[in-house]
């Protein structure tokens, strides 16, 4: 069930924080919006920074699950911002577009597929099935699985914030990918 997203920001970005972000830095609008509550901004920033920069899992795989989470949560800002990060991590535009479709429509390798199933299961029911867990455990260490699970859960939280506040996509950040049919 999808609920309508705000047509305009409910809480606008703090102008003083945006001014400090010039020239525009990645995620300027989200940082300037959450800055209305500095303790939360620090805490959420620390968690997201840990997930993004201190991980031991390959960045490509973290970006796969973050992008799938942004899609699953219908968070266009999240998906657009991580489209840029995903490209930097080695994802192709075809792979990024495939994250918006049923998993069986793209030839994902087994390692990617189990991570994407994990992301879908966490979003659907806030848990991972035993079958998926066994596949994860066969490929990843416990600390790595924790990292990947937290990547999904962290960005579910961020997606909920972005959707609820109506944070506008920053200049230069793409939105949803254009379907191949529409692009051709």
Domains of the chain: 15-177 (1.20.1290.10)
Cα–Cα dist 120/128, whole Å: 9
Nearest to 119 by CA among 140, 103, 134, 106: 103
Nearest to 56 by CA among 178, 148, 144, 125: 144
Q: Give the 3-state secondary structure of residue 57.
A: coil
Q: What tens-digit pLDDT sequence spans the chain (184 residues)?
A: 567 888 899 999 999 988 887 766 678 899 999 999 999 999 999 999 999 999 899 999 999 999 999 999 999 999 999 999 999 999 999 999 999 999 999 999 999 999 999 999 999 999 999 999 999 999 999 999 999 999 999 999 999 999 999 999 998 899 999 765 554 4
Residue with the two structure tokens 């942004």? 70
């Amino acid at each position: 069930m999808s609920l309508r997203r705000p047509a305009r920001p409910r809480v606008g970005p703090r102008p003083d924080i945006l001014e400090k972000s010039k020239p525009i830095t990645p995620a300027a609008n989200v940082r300037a919006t959450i800055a209305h509550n500095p303790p939360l901004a620090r805490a959420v920033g620390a968690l997201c920074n840990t997930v993004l920069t201190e991980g031991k899992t390959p960045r490509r795989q973290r970006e796969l699950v973050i992008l799938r989470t942004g899609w699953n949560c219908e968070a266009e800002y999240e998906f657009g911002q991580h489209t840029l990060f995903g490209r930097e991590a080695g994802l192709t535009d075809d792979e990024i577009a495939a994250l918006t479709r049923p998993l069986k429509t793209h030839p994902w390798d087994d390692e990617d597929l189990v991570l994407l199933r994990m992301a879908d299961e966490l979003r659907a029911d806030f848990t991972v099935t035993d079958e998926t867990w066994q596949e994860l455990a066969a490929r990843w260490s416990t600390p790595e699985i924790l990292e990947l699970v937290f990547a999904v859960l962290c960005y579910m939280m961020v997606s909920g914030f972005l959707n609820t506040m109506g944070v506008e996509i920053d200049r230069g950040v793409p939105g949803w990918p254009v379907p191949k049919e529409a692009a051709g």
